[in-house]
Structure 1
Amino acid sequence: MTDPINPGEAPQPAPAVPPAYQAPVASPDSFPGKGLGIAGLILAIFIPVIGLILSIVAKVQSKKVGAKNTPATVGIVISIILIVLGIIVAIVIGVTGAALFGHIVEVCAENGPGEWTIDGVTYTCK
């Protein structure tokens, strides 16, 4: 088919959509989950469980748009390390407390009610 304005020429394709009208592309500075990843990283240091949750949510949001979220990844790692260290410390404190309490019970069972000083330590048994 020929162009009625310019006979003998083939019709021209429609012009491309100008760049101003194209869908916006997420820039590396503004992608979903960036702020949440930073918040998760900070909270990972002070409240590891909440930091872990926020960092995972931020990582998932960023992954959906194909963006890399380093703060969220670091927040996940730090949270996991601090949670594991917290569990280890809690176990050590629990075992130490149980051993100490067991020793007090043993002293009271051997000596009966009263106040006893053994190796410079005073025990009060009821």
Structure 2
Amino acid sequence: MTDAPPPAPAYSGAPAAPVNPGKTMGIVALVLSIIGLHLIGIIVGFVGLNQSKKAGQKNGFALAGIIVGFVGLVIGIIVIISLVAGGAALFGGLAQVCAELGSGVWEVNGVTYECP
């Protein structure tokens, strides 16, 4: 019987990094927020951030997705309000002109108005 040396332990390399369960959701949240799906990006970002917190990890992607989502949402709301206010002013001005001119087609200072 020969005494064979025990097999050498397999080299496993560097220790594995801790798993961050919310990282993928954080990346998805950031992408959604950037492409304009702000509300969905915010929701997914909060879900990813909570998953990471439960695992004791930080999640910069989720936080960035939440911030970009909120900034985009606020800018979008401002743009919509501006467009609605501009449209109301435009149509309100037309109603005032038609009230003064009466119904028919009118040309005033090179501008044609069609009033019902």
For residue 41 of structure 1, give the secondary structure of its aligned residue in structure 2.
helix
Q: 1:76 and 2:32 equivalent?
A: no
Does structure 1 residue 53 correspond to structure 2 residue 40? no
In structure 2, the gaps of 5 or more residues are 1-15
Equivalent residue in structure 2 for 1:66, among 52, 56, 59: 56
Mark the structure with the bigger radius of gyration. 1
Determine the structure 2 residue equivalent to 1:37. 26
CA distance in 2, matches of 1:120, 1:42: 49
Gaps in structure 1 of 5+ consecutive residues: 1-25
Aligned identity (percent) is 48
- What pairs up with 1:81-100 in 2 under 5 angstroms? 81-100=71-90
Question: For 1:100 and 1:119, how far apart are their aligned partners in 2?
Answer: 17
2:106 equivalent in structure 1: 116
Give the Å deviation of 1:27.
2.6
- Cα distance per residue 1:48-101 (max 9 Å; x no partner): 110111001000100111101000000000000000000110111111000001
Structure 1 stretches of 4+ with a deviation exceeding 3 A read none
Q: What is the CA–CA distance in structure 2 between the aligned matches of 1:118 and 1:96, rounded to whole Å?
A: 22
The structure, 1 or 2, with the larger RCO (C-alpha pairs under 8 Å, 6+ apart) is 2
Normalising by structure 1, what TM-score?
Answer: 0.76
